[in-house]
Amino acid sequence: MENRINNLLNKKDNILSIYFTAGYPALDDTTHIIKELARTGADLLEVGVPFSDPVADGPVIQESNTAAIANGMTVKLLFEQLGDIRKEVDIPIIMMSSLNPILQFGFENFCKQCKTIDVDGLIIPDLPVEEYIDQYKEIVEAYNLRNIILVTPASTNERIHLVDKHTDGFIYMVSSSSTTGENKNFESDFEDFALRLKAMNLQNPLITGFGIKDKNSFDRVCIHSKGGIIGSAFVKALPQEDTITVAIQKFMSQFK
């Protein structure tokens, strides 16, 4: 079945994906951020479901999670907020969440709600690929969602091939083994991993995340992958201006 993620991958290179935490900086900012990012040139959006103990996130995203939870953001409220988003936004949207909030909501119910509001995919960083295949893949595919799985420099070639075999979309290439926003050796780590993956002749395209903070680092990862994901740098920029609109416009202007 048709999916916006596959359509985007088929027609575009240098894909700019932006991550932000739902309910941050303010509880009702979520849909406004989505609309403004779509308007200012983002190709793909990752909407983070806030969780008290997010996996692999650096301090910026951890703090945004804490603030969003304090603001009152929940999975149920997020689905309510996104109920009419497809009336104005047509770019692919992925829900990024730790496994725990999804299980609390009910895994199939979560997928069903994603389908209802026309979300295109999931990223669940702490869901091992073997567990996904055994317990959840059938559910995800039944609702025409794409499950995006992370691979890191620590992943074995065997595991990477397993991820590739069970992916229909793109593979999330983690540029290094550091947390988000924290890598000090970004370029050399990324280059080594990118060349290793290229030699593996994977069937799915790669989009790179972790350590991308501006146009320069985005352009660097696009040499070896289909696009790049910016999270911490964007989340950090959101409260820096008088309004969310100005903050997004200022951040996104560098990519024009």
What is the per-residue pLDDT for 176? 75
Long-range contacts at 28-31 (CB < 8 A, ≥ 24 apart): 28/81, 29/238, 29/244, 30/73, 30/78, 30/81, 30/82, 31/81, 31/82, 31/85
Question: pTM for the full model?
Answer: 0.94
Helix pair angle (186-199, 215-222), 10° resolution: 20
What is the per-residue pLDDT for 55? 63
- Catalytic residue from among 57, 120, 164, 189: 57
What is the per-residue pLDDT for 56? 60
What is the per-residue pLDDT for 185? 57
Give the tokens for residue 224: 């070896």
46 flagged as catalytic: yes
What is the per-residue pLDDT for 58? 83
**Under 8 Å CB-to-CB from 45, ≥6 apart: which residues?**
17, 18, 19, 20, 34, 37, 38, 91, 92, 93, 94
- Catalytic residue from among 46, 120, 164, 189: 46
Per-residue pLDDT of the chain (256 residues; tens, 9 = 90+): 889 999 999 999 999 999 999 999 999 999 999 999 999 999 999 999 999 876 666 899 999 999 999 999 999 999 999 999 999 999 999 999 999 999 999 999 999 999 999 999 999 999 999 999 999 999 999 999 999 999 999 999 999 999 999 999 999 999 876 544 454 556 677 889 999 999 999 999 999 999 899 999 999 999 999 999 999 999 999 999 999 999 999 999 999 8
**Under 8 Å CB-to-CB from 103, ≥6 apart: which residues?**
none
CATH class of 4-251: alpha beta
187 flagged as catalytic: no
Q: How many CA within 13 A on the CB side of residue 199? A: 7
For residue 16, list its beta bridge partners: 228
What is the per-residue pLDDT for 183? 47
